[in-house]
Amino acid sequence: MSDTKQKLREELVKYGRLMPERNLVVGKSGNLSVRVPGEDTVLITPSMIEYEVLKPEEIPLVNLEGEVLEGKTAPSTEKIMHLAVYNARKDAGAVIHAHTIYGTILGVLGKPLPPLIDEMAIRLGGQVEVAEYKLAGTPDLAQNALKGLGDRTAVFLANHGTLCCGKDLKEAFHITEFLERMSQIYVISLMIGKPNPLPEESIKFEIEVYKHLHGMK
């Protein structure tokens, strides 16, 4: 096992254990993956192993077609969705699928999250859309998630959870937490009254900043 892959496996364990600690998932739900630099391969958390007891050596390595190259454990059943992002988005270095409370509420409602505060569009790329529902672990869900994600860093999965990506695991995890915080603010705002979105000119400016930061035209 190379030093790079070992370090990435340790990072997956680290952030995997933070998932239930930060109330982003319960039990064995959700999954994380990271692209191996310089290779067309991905390390992804295995299926049906709790994060608290997950060991680095239990994390399988797959190619971009989903074939297992290293490891004796089965990759997450959501590997198709993760790999769809990596194949379509060269800027994605890590992907996290979570079952957050407020993000899942918006997915269940089929309600997109508009830019509400300064920084949101810069970090998420604009309004967070809701991907059309399809059964978990299927190619159809992967394609719907990819369509809903577009060139942004986050998407809600209808009646399922959230999907976020970043240049590395640290960024993908922070985006997952940030999305949940924005979702919580939006849901509570809807309960109290009618939320005021950011002015259109501010949204356009922040999206341009986002595109510049991500090397997009």
Q: What is the pLDDT of residue 27?
A: 86
The fold for domain 3-213 equals: L-fuculose-1-phosphate Aldolase (3.40.225)
For residue 105, the surrounding DSSP H or E stretch is helix 101-109
Question: How does pLDDT run along the chain (217 residues), one tens digit per residue?
Answer: 589 999 999 999 999 999 999 999 998 899 999 999 999 999 999 998 999 999 999 999 999 999 999 999 999 999 999 999 999 999 999 999 999 999 999 999 999 999 999 999 999 999 999 999 999 999 999 999 999 999 999 999 999 999 999 999 999 999 999 999 999 999 999 999 999 989 999 999 999 999 999 888 7
What is d(CA 168, CA 69) in angstroms, rounded to the nearest whole number? 21
In the residue annotation, 78 being an active-site residue is answered as yes
Q: Which sequence spans correspond to the domains of the chain?
A: 3-213
* Residue of 78, 171, 200, 206 marked active site: 78
Q: What is the pLDDT of residue 70?
A: 95
CB 85 within 8 A of CB 68: no
What is d(CA 7, CA 24) in angstroms, rounded to the nearest whole number? 23
Cα–Cα distance list, 118 to 114, 155, 199 (Å) = 12, 19, 10
Q: What is the pLDDT of residue 189?
A: 97
Provide the 10 A C-beta neighbour count for residue 198: 17
Q: How far is CA 180 from the centre of its chain?
A: 11
Q: How far is CA 149 from the centre of its chain?
A: 10
